[in-house]
Structure 1
């Protein structure tokens, strides 16, 4: 596993990451598992700046940023293309800055002697065997929004830096400080199109070097990245085309590859085992991750794609994926609540009318779902949700039929014991009381949380690609500058239901990058059939995983009967709480991996093992 860590404080430090490499100019900052070319540092007599990861800044740009470090212009250090961690030291203070989407998360713990920080919460927990924070794990399962409990990580005594914040460590210890605005100044869609195109182009270019390049070639989002990469050289393009999907990804991929130079297409046909939940009877075959991640459930599908890449490239390279494209290029219909809040009733009606047609329901039904969220702020919504948690568990209905909410209660919340629900309600009330600088719009909160969730999950996929294939996974839609460029456009423009992905149309029409038939596409593939096939075929494994020996059950975070009912519905081909099952299974796998992991995280300065 790749991770970085550091110490800032007195002379009491007696440990360092096992097999860690010190970052030049920062003797108490180390990296583990990162190749040397992805670690760069510059220094002068007053400041040191290091970037770890895929950073598009050249050495001259890094040197020219040293005055920015001295002036504490932290946000400017996050504006280069790519996805990277920043460590900046000036005077008596050290700033550790992750990215906006959690590809490089930052955690810390402070004692009287100083502060340890790391990009791995598990590593910091291993300093003294800190246990899992059951309340934080309950929030992860019940809400799926990483910032609800702010600085609480999944381990006790280990704090996390929330999205848009940095860790600033000084003589008095460490604390978080916001560097990203809660909301961006709005820009019109057409005006922002060229900015989005430039940000995506630079994000792709930052990863193109002598390594073989490959890319998913499926929906609009991944196709855009594949075509941008093909402008710079040969690209091995792969399309997962299992016959059970019954979508048109393969036909569009074939047509695109025939039109765009440098794209060589390959079909990934799928197999009986390429379904959700395959292989979970042997979780030791999965890479250990720092947090629960969705790709534990879809690993067999990802392995099939990466196997095809490996077969058709000359060696390990960089693979582009469209992960998070939906989160930045479009918007969920919850933005209608914001239109109602701002009394933009005519626009709300127009958008609700089209959403209703697409979902075969009435305009009044769409507006009725949005109205409750339009009348409450984030803190009030959390208090309302805490009250619901103190009541009885609900019967299951699809989330799309429930009222829109700032922090929706997922079906997994109804699978917990009453005691666990009360514990979570108390934490949510506390979080509401401590909330500061909350976004005014529901869409602004939701889209940041969606990005953080996708970012954490993509880290799991990246671990799989590196561990088993040596392939570097690139997810440019999660880059800081791409996020900023896209989210500057209002959600009601990005998510306008009358057009599919209008942001891509504004960015690439007439550019020569994407064929016109791609920009005109209105369809999107989905994996529902493979999810239900996996639920049916792997039901015995899932029942065993979440049965009497379940780690989650021992913590009160699942109960047997609702899980059995959900699996029975799926086995019968009936709709069920897929998303909640996905979260629960991934969390159970993670807990079991924690219990059996034999990783050595730290060593004493003299070389003896200090913690595992």
Structure 2
């Protein structure tokens, strides 16, 4: 698994076993295979700078950042998804986290000082290696509910997205925000920023590395078309068992782009959700969203690897950014704009064939979750001692940011999964600059009951053929989940009475009832069920995986100082 970390100045002199040391004073190390484009460093007589992750900045851009009085403002708005680390002669380490949280960062307090890293599980071995049951209980209620100041591991604290972590000699630790939701600007300006952020973020990932993309709906098709402008690549279209035409397949076959090699990947019986898969699941920081489909995902990545791919791009996050629910109704209600509130509520209700009353009521209550996720409910198998999370009232933009940060945090666990196959997983829609561009558009401009993903289409739609630009549907694998659960019901039932039940977090009986009903094809709230099964499997993987071991010797750095 790829991860990185370091120590505070005058902090503990420790390094994970097998690490590649970049700096020795203070420590900065890398674990796993990191291609050169993902690690860039600059230095002068008074400072060291490292940019870790895909970033569109040039080497010339790095030099001014060495002496910039405000590091975050100098480096934080580059397209890509990365962490910036600077060490100065003042014996201060500054670490810049990205606005979306796609590059999570954590700290652990040891007897000798602070250690920081991009892996919470790795740091947990310094703090006792115990799961934070409170975090896990919130996760089971709602994957978006865990508190911002807690991680899945006791003693390991997350650094919030869009913040600067400053570590000084003598034990000083400061966390301050550098990014905040942008002031709304004209839609045309937001569209230009979105086009630049997305195009440059994709270019930074593919131009020097053999890459592949998904090729399914509008989001992944857009990635494929932009990426193919920079280098030849492979595009993979997965399709449900027994479906040889229609849906994503028809659109993928109709796409004609120079440099794009298209591959169709049939989801066979061994790839169905809940299959065991041939590649064991590695231990990750938190339950990965792709746990149920790991057999399919790992097989798809192996197919990409067989075609020479080292990096795979997905469209994750696209729906959350561009397929906006009418959360802006809350803003209308707050500003007493009653006519547009009623107009858009009626339009959405007609589209979804539902009454408008609940939408308007939720808007008046400033309940963005009730509008954006009306299906959200307490899982019936949760035990009574797990209290309901508290969702704070939010504007439409705050709700957008929170949803993207949840997707980015959980997607990081998926990227850790994919390291086991030897393919890097990248999600350009979760880049901080992309989030900043979308959040800068007026909330009502992100919504439409009459057009499909209007911001994305208006920003980059001219790069797509008309057929794909005008598409208003996407493929679905819901039936595959029912088929997979029916085929592997025994395996799923085994997960219902295990480690979560032993911790007093779930009652197995209601969970088994839900599993039986889903296997028979009953309408199922998969967003409620899948995280519980993923958490059970995650705990089992953690129990069978050795903890990260740390070395107190002082290896010589391969770069820096």
Three-state SS of the structure 2 residue aligned to 1:214 is: strand
CA contact (8 A) 2:124 2:155 kept: yes
Three-state SS of the structure 2 residue aligned to 1:373 is: coil
How far the C-alpha of 1:255 sits from its partner, in A, is 0.8
| CA separation of 1:54 and 1:329: change in aligned 2, threshold 3 A | same
Residue among 282, 289, 294 paired with 1:294: 289
2:419 is the alignment partner of 1:419: no
C-alpha distance in structure 2 between counterparts of 1:574 and 1:442, whole Å:
35
How far the C-alpha of 1:453 sits from its partner, in A, is 2.4
Q: Structure 2-normalised TM-score?
A: 0.91
1:537-576 counterparts in 2 under 5 A?
537-547=487-497, 550-576=498-524
Three-state SS of the structure 2 residue aligned to 1:415 is: coil
Equivalent residue, structure 1, for 2:280: 285
1:509-532 deviations in Å (ceiling 9; x for gaps): 4x4x21122111111112211122
Three-state SS of the structure 2 residue aligned to 1:55 is: coil
C-alpha distance in structure 1 between counterparts of 2:419 and 2:171, whole Å:
38
Residue among 322, 334, 343 paired with 1:341: 334
Three-state SS of the structure 1 residue aligned to 2:225 is: helix
| CA separation of 1:316 and 1:466: change in aligned 2, threshold 3 A | farther
C-alpha distance in structure 2 between counterparts of 1:343 and 1:172, whole Å:
50
Equivalent residue, structure 2, for 1:194: 192
C-alpha distance in structure 2 between counterparts of 1:265 and 1:482, whole Å:
27
C-alpha distance in structure 2 between counterparts of 1:298 and 1:580, whole Å:
16
Three-state SS of the structure 2 residue aligned to 1:109 is: strand
Residue among 198, 212, 215 paired with 1:214: 212
C-alpha distance in structure 1 between counterparts of 2:375 and 2:165, whole Å:
29
Equivalent residue, structure 2, for 1:238: 236
| CA separation of 1:333 and 1:277: change in aligned 2, threshold 3 A | farther
1:486-534 deviations in Å (ceiling 9; x for gaps): 221133221212111101222134x4x2112211111111221112222
2:426 is the alignment partner of 1:477: no
Residue among 266, 269, 285 paired with 2:266: 269
Aligned residues: 551
C-alpha distance in structure 1 between counterparts of 2:432 and 2:312, whole Å:
19
Q: Please tell me the root mean square deviation across aligned C-alpha atoms, in Å.
A: 2.5
Equivalent residue, structure 2, for 1:22: 21
CA contact (8 A) 1:189 1:506 kept: no
How far the C-alpha of 1:597 sits from its partner, in A, is 0.7
2:533 is the alignment partner of 1:534: no
Residue among 299, 305, 308 paired with 1:310: 305
Residue among 403, 412, 429 paired with 1:459: 412
Gaps of 5+ in 2: 556-561
Equivalent residue, structure 2, for 1:66: 66
1:165-184 counterparts in 2 under 5 A?
165-170=163-168, 171-181=170-180, 183-184=181-182
C-alpha distance in structure 2 between counterparts of 1:542 and 1:238, whole Å:
29
C-alpha distance in structure 2 between counterparts of 1:408 and 1:574, whole Å:
16
Three-state SS of the structure 1 residue aligned to 2:516 is: helix
Three-state SS of the structure 2 residue aligned to 1:316 is: coil
Residue among 449, 452, 456 paired with 1:500: 452
How far the C-alpha of 1:105 sits from its partner, in A, is 0.9
2:545 is the alignment partner of 1:597: yes
Three-state SS of the structure 1 residue aligned to 2:365 is: helix
Three-state SS of the structure 2 residue aligned to 1:50 is: strand
Residue among 149, 152, 155 paired with 2:150: 152
Equivalent residue, structure 2, for 1:395: none
C-alpha distance in structure 2 between counterparts of 1:370 and 1:194, whole Å:
30
Equivalent residue, structure 2, for 1:444: 397
CA contact (8 A) 2:211 2:309 kept: no
2:119 is the alignment partner of 1:120: yes
Residue among 303, 324, 332 paired with 2:317: 324
| CA separation of 1:495 and 1:534: change in aligned 2, threshold 3 A | farther
Three-state SS of the structure 2 residue aligned to 1:543 is: helix
Equivalent residue, structure 2, for 1:4: 4
| CA separation of 1:601 and 1:448: change in aligned 2, threshold 3 A | farther
Equivalent residue, structure 1, for 2:43: 43
CA contact (8 A) 2:132 2:154 kept: yes
Three-state SS of the structure 1 residue aligned to 2:262 is: strand
C-alpha distance in structure 2 between counterparts of 1:565 and 1:370, whole Å:
35
| CA separation of 1:218 and 1:42: change in aligned 2, threshold 3 A | same
1:464-490 deviations in Å (ceiling 9; x for gaps): 33321x222221111111111122113
| CA separation of 1:606 and 1:234: change in aligned 2, threshold 3 A | closer
Residue among 351, 363, 366 paired with 1:358: 351
C-alpha distance in structure 1 between counterparts of 2:376 and 2:268, whole Å:
35
Residue among 515, 518, 523 paired with 2:468: 518
How far the C-alpha of 1:407 sits from its partner, in A, is 11
How far the C-alpha of 1:584 sits from its partner, in A, is 0.7
CA contact (8 A) 1:142 1:409 kept: no
Gaps of 5+ in 1: 379-401, 433-437, 608-612
How far the C-alpha of 1:27 sits from its partner, in A, is 4.2
1:410-460 deviations in Å (ceiling 9; x for gaps): 433x42222233xx76xx5xxx9xxxxx8x743223222222222233223
| CA separation of 1:110 and 1:598: change in aligned 2, threshold 3 A | closer
1:227-273 deviations in Å (ceiling 9; x for gaps): 0111122221111122467851111111113xx22222211121112
1:286-323 deviations in Å (ceiling 9; x for gaps): 12211111111111221232233234x2x232222111
**Which stretch shifts more, 452-461 or 519-528?**
452-461
Three-state SS of the structure 2 residue aligned to 1:22 is: strand
Equivalent residue, structure 1, for 2:439: 487
CA contact (8 A) 1:54 1:84 kept: yes
| CA separation of 1:504 and 1:404: change in aligned 2, threshold 3 A | closer
CA contact (8 A) 1:24 1:41 kept: no
C-alpha distance in structure 1 between counterparts of 2:86 and 2:289, whole Å:
32
Q: Structure 1-normalised TM-score?
A: 0.84
Equivalent residue, structure 2, for 1:249: 248
| CA separation of 1:463 and 1:120: change in aligned 2, threshold 3 A | closer
Larger helix percent: 1
1:25-69 deviations in Å (ceiling 9; x for gaps): 75411111142612222122322211112222222211121122x
